[in-house]
Amino acid sequence: MGTVDDLLTELDPADRSSVERIYEIARDVAPDAEQGLGYGMPALVYRGKPLVSVMRAKKHIGVYPFSPAAVTAVADALAGHPGIGLDKGTIRYQPEHPLPDEVVRTLVTARKEQIEG
């Protein structure tokens, strides 16, 4: 796997804008984050630890904050949101039902604080 930039260039335009938006919000929350890998996936890395990865899978886009606690931090905000699926450390969505910006901000902030803590 390559960098986040490599991943973005390989995506279909509809997926690219959705995935890119999440990375932009993450960079706003953690401007010192760098491109790297997290569990073999292109990710933003903060203080040497994976912050967030966003990947296109066959049937969804997956957001991986590398933290079940970060997913829990936004679970209530996503309850009833169409097209959203949650697992222990993953949020799945469709580009036509994007994650709200504030949810992404809260998710990345929770992970950032965990790394700092």
CA dihedral in degrees (26, 104, 99, 41; nearest 10)? 50
Map tokens 């809260």 to a residue: 106
3-state secondary structure of 88: coil
pLDDT score, position 14:
85
Domain extent, residue 26, equals 4-116
* Region of residue 67 (left: phi > 0; alpha: psi -120 to 50; beta: else): beta
Check: CB of residue 84 under 8 Å from CB of residue 99. Answer: yes
pLDDT score, position 115:
98
Residue 1 pLDDT exceeds 60? no
Q: Domains in the chain: how many in total?
A: 1
Q: List pLDDT tens digits, range 87-109.
A: 989 999 999 999 999 999 999 99
Q: List pLDDT tens digits, range 4-17.
A: 999 899 999 989 99
Say which CATH number the domain at 12 has: 3.90.1150.200
Q: List pLDDT tens digits, range 34-77.
A: 999 999 999 999 999 999 999 999 999 999 999 999 999 999 99
